[in-house]
Chain A
């Protein structure tokens, strides 16, 4: 009977130890994360032990959908040779390759959808679904959401809305389950593919607008490096290579000149709407562009092969 009694003391204690060990695992990482974890332990989080928080700073990377919307708005024609062949899927054996190529294919899917290439949509969606299953992501996503995608294959606008919701649900699942590393790799793959597409499209369709969009990737790249930094130098050579390659590209971006000027915003309270008039001017020369184009192409080829 005494053992039985001890059992019930042990349950809460074990649960507490388990929760604290989850935090301990995180503290093996970078100094900045150690600081954060130390701060986190000052109080009890009633929800999760795995809230995304790096010294209270979170970094966002623009969706690949926006990049495709921009190229479409510039009347640049669809180029199927830019896509990563969906049959490459079987080459991706490590978690790193699966996650980063899930990001690549998601950028491809956005490109296909924005340009209304519905004949390609099915193959790319199936590859994304398979990679999601391999990474054990889609089994945790609502079956209803997946069914809605399959039912709306012909409806471009609904499809983009549902697919972006799917990616947000995946991101929430990854955050809730302390798998932010996988989430960061998916985002990295999507960003690399977007910049690869922009630079390749510029070779065939040069325009000032496209050049500026390439230059504007400087801040998202810095945010991406911040997002990946906690996983750098933690024993995964693939992540280290990705991080170092991105840092190398970032060094070329340092040469690009940005001029920012503040303008008063206009608020429309009744419509819950504000127009931000501040401006950024980007000056990028051909030599910098050439270096960025070459490096992003090398990195992208390493990711997809």
Chain B
């Protein structure tokens, strides 16, 4: 009986550690698949925007888009490889773009004719999971 308990706790410990490891490797592969969509001639802005969100909650990313530049926004989530829903608002909270209108693509390109302060809002795709990670990457050319 005593030995069974020992085995039980060994297995429990291994499962706990491998669970953490799996989380780490899932996030790494998510980062890689997201980054693969910032291809030349787009250049990464050098930052990694991440948020841990509850289901139904939104994350906000504040960003200045320079006039004359073309940006690529790549959006990824930890929910079964499905991209998050993302929207861009201006500083007055007027909607400029919503990925919902175009079946939630993984990326979208934007040309800004003038510099504007934007707010990128993102939420998890439809899921039963209580929470998930959203990653946004921004490239420009």
Q: Which residues of A contact B (CB under 8 A)?
A: 1, 4-5, 8-9, 11-12, 15, 40, 42-43, 45-48, 51-53, 56-63, 65-66, 69-70, 73, 106, 157-158, 160-161, 164-165, 167-168, 170-172, 175-176, 187, 212, 216, 219-220, 223, 226, 260, 262, 265, 267, 269, 271-280
Among A4, A43, A61, A272, the residue within 8 A (CB) of B109 is A272
Residues of B within 8 A of A70 (CB): 66, 68
Cα–Cα, bound, A9→B9 (Å): 6
* With A43-B131, A48-B24 as contacts: A272 and B108 at CB distance below 8 Å: yes
Residues of B within 8 A of A279 (CB): 113-114, 116
Residues of B within 8 A of A175 (CB): 48, 50
20 contacts between A and B (CB under 8 A): A1-B2, A8-B12, A9-B9, A46-B23, A51-B52, A53-B51, A56-B51, A59-B61, A66-B66, A66-B140, A165-B44, A168-B45, A212-B115, A226-B62, A260-B90, A260-B116, A274-B111, A276-B97, A276-B110, A278-B113
Residues of A within 8 A of B59 (CB): 53, 56-58
Cα–Cα, bound, A58→B51 (Å): 8
Among A8, A51, A160, the residue within 8 A (CB) of B43 is A160
Among B43, B50, B88, B90, the residue within 8 A (CB) of A52 is B50
Interchain residue pairs A-B with the least CB separation, the first 9: A8-B9, A167-B46, A51-B52, A60-B63, A219-B117, A279-B114, A63-B45, A47-B23, A164-B44
Residues of B within 8 A of A278 (CB): 90, 96, 113-114, 116
Q: A131 to nearest B CB, angstroms?
A: 15
Indicate the size class of the contact surface on chain B.
35 or more
Q: B140 to nearest A CB, angstroms?
A: 6
Q: A274 and B114: CB pair below 8 A?
A: no
Q: B64 and A168: CB pair below 8 A?
A: no
* With A45-B131, A164-B45 as contacts: A172 and B31 at CB distance below 8 Å: yes
